[in-house]
Amino acid sequence: MTSSTYRSPVNDDPTLDISLVVNGRPVEASVSPRLLLSDFLRHHLGLTGTHVGCEHGVCGACTVHIDGRAARSCLTLAVQLDGATVRTVEDLEGPDGSLSPVQAAFRDCHGLQCGFCTPGFLMSVTALLDEDPDVADASDAEIRERIAGNLCRCTGYQGIVAATRQAAETLRDAKEQADGTTQG
């Protein structure tokens, strides 16, 4: 795959070259050291699905995956990402364009309203379920603890809690089915 090259427009700041992989695609860029990863993704790569809600790490709207783990893109400088792998909400859907189990669960359970916090929640919950498939059996209070760290002003979280559980169940069922097939 060919890589893309971007140049930071942050005025006449000196720039540094970085190369990273974003959503499976190699990216070469020349960025100002002070450029936040959130701005780099949104304004340089056009990946505007990652939203900026507070720029001090509390709201979680800007959550992406860095090297497989959920992280706040507003608390990360783009230059820190040289050699890293980044995944954003735009990469969640399946190769056929279908919604991922987490995305589908958010729709089924009315886990979003205005949609602004949603990409951050999707990335946090996706990482959570990757790490811990047992969330399906967790209590309501436990799920709430696991998704605390992302703010939503619209939903009152009820739909998000339900969506997290539904997605966990879907993923577990899929895994059990796959395991069963393998064993059979």
Partner 1 sequence: MARPKAEQPEQSAPPMVHTGARVRRNEDPRLLRGRGRYVDDIPLEGCVHGAFLRSTVARGRIVALDTTEAEQLPGVLAVYTCENIGGLDREMPLLIPHPCISHGRTQRPLARDDVYYVGQAIAFVVAVDRYVAEDAVSRISVDIEPLPVEVDMERAVDDGAPLVHPDVPGNIAAALVQNCGDADAAFARAEHRTKIRVQVDRSTGAPMECLATAARWDPVSGELVVWDGTQAPIGLRGALASLFELDEDKVRVIAPDVGGGFGPKIHFPYANEVLVPLAAMELGRPVKYIEDRSENFVHMSHERTQIHEIELAATKDGEVIGLRDVFLHDTGAFIPYGIAVAQVASTAIAGPYRIPNIEVEFRCVYTPTVPVTPYRGCGRPQANFALERAMDQLAEELGLDRFEIRRRNLIADDEFPYKREGLIFADGLPVTYDSGQYGAALALLEEELDLPAFRAEQEQARAEGRWLGLGLSFYVEGTGLGPYEGGRVRIHPITGKVYVNTGLTTQGQGHATSMAQLVADQLGVAVDDVIVVEGDTGVFDWGVATFASRAMVVSGSAIHKAAVKARERVLEIAANMLEVDQADIVLENGAATVRGTGTSVPLAAIATVSNPLRYAFNDAAQIATQFAPANKGDGPPLPEESRPGIQTEEYYSPPHATWAYGVHAAIVEVDPVSYDLQVKRYVIVHDCGKMINPMIVEGQIAGGVASGMGGAFYEKLEYEANGNLRNASFMEFLMPYATEVPHMEMHHLETPTPLNPIGAKGAGEAGTIPVAAVIASGIQDALAPEGIGPLWHVPLNPSVLHDAVREARSR
Partner 2 sequence: MKPSRFEYVLPRSIEEAVAARVEHADTVVLSGGQSLVPTLNFRLSNPEAVIDLRLVPGLDDVRVEGEWIHVGGRTRQRDLELDDAVHAANPLIRETLHHVAHPVIRNRGTVGGSIAHADPSAELPCLLLCLDGEVVAHGPSGARTIDAQDLFEFILSTTLEPDEILTEVRFPVLPERTGWCFTEFARRHGDFALAGVAATLTLADDGTIAWGQLAACGVTTTPVRLVAVEDALLDDAADPSRFREIAALAADVVTVPDDESCSSAYRRDLLVGLVERALRTSWQRATERATARTSREVTS
Least Cβ distance, residue 106 to partner 1 (angstroms): 6
Phi, psi dihedrals of residue 152, rounded to the nearest 5°: -135, 135
- Judged by CB, which is closer to partner 2: 145, or 176? 145
Least Cβ distance, residue 55 to partner 2 (angstroms): 4
Say which entry of partner 1, partner 2, none residue 158 contacts (CB below 5 to 8 A, set by partner kind).
partner 1
CA–CA dist 89, 95 (Å, integer): 14
Enumerate residues 108-127 that contact partner 2 by CB under 8 A: 124, 127
* By the rule CB under 8 A, 7 interacts with partner 2: no
Catalog residues that contact partner 1 under the rule CB under 8 A: 9-13, 32, 34-35, 39, 42, 46-56, 58-59, 61, 88-90, 92-93, 99, 103, 106-108, 110, 112-119, 122, 140-141, 143-145, 147-161
